[in-house]
């Protein structure tokens, strides 16, 4: 295994942008103290495309960021190959870089998710075409690729799993037994049905993979119908089982009911990977779920996008809305809400906030979503809801290009850190480095 590219940057010019507080965005009936004032914005990257994937807080303080980096200059000046690699950054509470590491081989390696593991290290997930460098093998076009590091960032192990086609991991979690679980997508057409011991069907399927603490495969199973089905989020349930969350285009095999073109699809698994129940939600249009969190009572909040105007979707604001729903532990719908303006909105992630509230991160193309309007193309969009889905606050930030909110962490100090990707030359007067940059917004 070749040595990974590694370099350290200990100082970063902090781009601080002050913006006026807008109390009109806050629900007057709420006691929520968060106002969403932008206190700083920082860019990370080089002259090529460098895109954000995930943000996690660290027990020792600070944060870790995962992205996909192509650049070999700027903050990636130690990287030797102008191709896609996993990019892991450690940041202090102010967003300054203390460590920067890249992982990959000579082909495309796309990072999608990051967790801080219980031993102080990290697990990175995504998909890879490489069979050299840090990647020891490749079974086909894209394989799910998992890289486990120690607390210093050194590789402890890396594992590739896949077949002849496009096989992706989109979400990774550490399980209660010390192992790991991945939710993703299996190209069943290319695998010829491999990847599941029980059945063969579909174009692409929800794919669950259970790994032990050393990354060895314990079991895997796929679920879906005869069309395209993708799982973007994995959760471990209180009974030790798992939940896969994404969308289905199918209306047969494992899918018992459909509403339209694409539906939210929730699959509950046992701890050994057997399906216990599945539920679809949506209308006659396109409904795609991307992220979810559990509440303390076992209910689940799920976020995504929808352009339906019927079925489970009782209100529509524009072209596509952010669609938020709450289900109970048995998968029964308790409520659903649509958020957005008259154009296109997209919600990518959800993170817990203060006072039983939740921050939802995405992007907005509408000029009438927030008081900031629209700066051009897609803007970063953050909004806050309570546990019943009532809007508490929302705002947008962006430049002339495409700006996409990706992930967020709320700190004990009352700061919301928002990770995003920008293709704008500047955002809130802060200039970028290249085609696509990672950016980190700090909101108070």
Q: How confident is the model over 380-409, as pLDDT tens digits?
A: 999 999 999 999 999 999 999 999 999 999
Interval 290-336: pLDDT, tens: 999 999 999 999 999 999 999 999 999 989 999 999 999 999 999 99
- Is the per-residue pLDDT at 14 higher than 70? no
Q: Where are the alpha helices (DSSP H) in 104-178?
A: none
Report percent pLDDT > 90 for the chain.
Answer: 80
Q: Which residues contact 6 (CB under 8 A, 6 or more apart)?
A: 78, 100, 101, 102, 153
Contact between 242 and 249 under an 8 Å Cβ cutoff? The reply is no
- From start to end of 76-154, where are the E strands? 85-91, 97-103, 109-116, 122-128, 143-149
SS3 call for 75: helix
| Contact status, residue 101 vs residue 4, Cβ threshold 8 Å | yes
Report the SS3 class of residue 191.
helix
Q: Which neighbouring-strand residues pair with 322?
A: 305, 339
Q: Is 11 exposed, middle or buried (0-12, 13-18, 19+ CB in 10 A)?
A: exposed
276: closest CA among 313, 234, 331?
A: 331
Q: What is the pLDDT of residues 366-383, one digit of tens each?
A: 999 888 888 888 999 999
CA of residue 46 relative to chain centroid, distance: 22
Task: Give the three-class secondary structure for 411.
Answer: coil
What was the pLDDT predicted at 149? 98
Instruction: Compute the distance between CA of residue 125 and CA of residue 111 in angstroms, rounded to an integer.
Output: 6
Phi, psi of 74 (to 5 degrees): 60, -130
Whether residue 33 is predicted with pLDDT greater than 80 in this model: the reply is: no
Give 105: exposed, middle or buried? Use CB within 10 Å, 0-12, 13-18, 19+: buried
pLDDT band at residue 22 under the 50/70/90 scheme: very low
Phi, psi of 249 (to 5 degrees): -105, 0
CA 319-321-324 angle, to 5 degrees, is 160
Least confident of 16-20, 149-153, 265-269, 340-344: 16-20
Strand-pair partners of 349 = 361
CA gap 90, 252 in Å, rounded: 45
């Amino acid at each position: 295994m070749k040595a990974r590219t590694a370099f350290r940057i200990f100082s970063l010019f902090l781009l601080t942008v002050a913006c006026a507080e807008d109390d009109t965005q806050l629900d007057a009936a709420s006691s929520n103290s968060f106002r969403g004032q932008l206190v700083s914005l920082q860019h990370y990257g080089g002259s090529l495309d460098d895109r954000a994937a995930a943000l996690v807080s660290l027990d020792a303080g600070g944060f870790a960021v995962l992205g996909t980096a192509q650049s070999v200059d700027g903050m990636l000046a130690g990287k030797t190959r102008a191709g896609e690699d996993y990019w892991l950054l450690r940041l202090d509470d102010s967003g300054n870089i203390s460590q920067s590491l890249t992982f990959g081989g000579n082909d495309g390696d796309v990072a999608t998710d990051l967790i801080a593991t219980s031993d102080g290290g990290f697990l990175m997930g995504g998909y890879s075409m490489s069979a050299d460098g840090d990647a020891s093998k490749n079974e086909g076009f894209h394989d799910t690729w998992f890289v486990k590091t120690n607390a210093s960032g050194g590789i402890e192990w890396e594992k590739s799993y896949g077949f002849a086609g496009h096989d992706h991991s989109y979400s990774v979690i550490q399980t209660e037994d010390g192992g790991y679980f991945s939710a993703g997508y299996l190209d069943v057409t290319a695998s010829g049905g491999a990847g599941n011991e029980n059945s063969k069907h579909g174009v692409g399927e929800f794919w669950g993979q259970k790994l032990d603490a050393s990354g060895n495969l314990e079991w895997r199973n796929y679920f879906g119908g005869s069309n395209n089905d993708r799982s973007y989020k994995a959760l471990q349930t209180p009974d030790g089982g798992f939940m896969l969350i994404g969308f289905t285009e199918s209306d047969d095999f494992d899918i018992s009911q459909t509403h339209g073109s694409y539906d939210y699809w929730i699959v509950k698994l046992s701890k050994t990977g057997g399906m216990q129940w599945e539920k679809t939600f949506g209308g006659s249009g396109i409904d795609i779920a991307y992220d979810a969190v559990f509440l303390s009572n076992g209910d689940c909040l799920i976020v995504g996008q929808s352009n339906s105007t019927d079925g489970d979707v009782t209100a529509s604001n524009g072209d596509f809305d952010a669609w938020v729903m709450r289900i109970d532990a048995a998968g029964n719908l308790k409520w659903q809400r649509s958020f957005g303006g008259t154009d296109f909105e997209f919600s990518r992630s959800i993170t817990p906030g203060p006072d039983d509230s939740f921050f939802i991160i995405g992007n907005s193309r509408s000029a009438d979503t927030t008081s900031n309007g629209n700066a051009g193309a897609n803007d970063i969009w953050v909004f806050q809801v309570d546990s019943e889905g009532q809007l508490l606050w929302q705002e947008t930030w962006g430049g002339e290009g495409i700006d996409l909110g990706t992930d967020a962490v709320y700190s004990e100090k009352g700061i919301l850190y928002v990770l995003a990707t920008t293709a704008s030359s500047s955002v809130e007067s802060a200039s970028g480095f290249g085609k696509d940059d990672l950016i980190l917004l700090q909101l108070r």
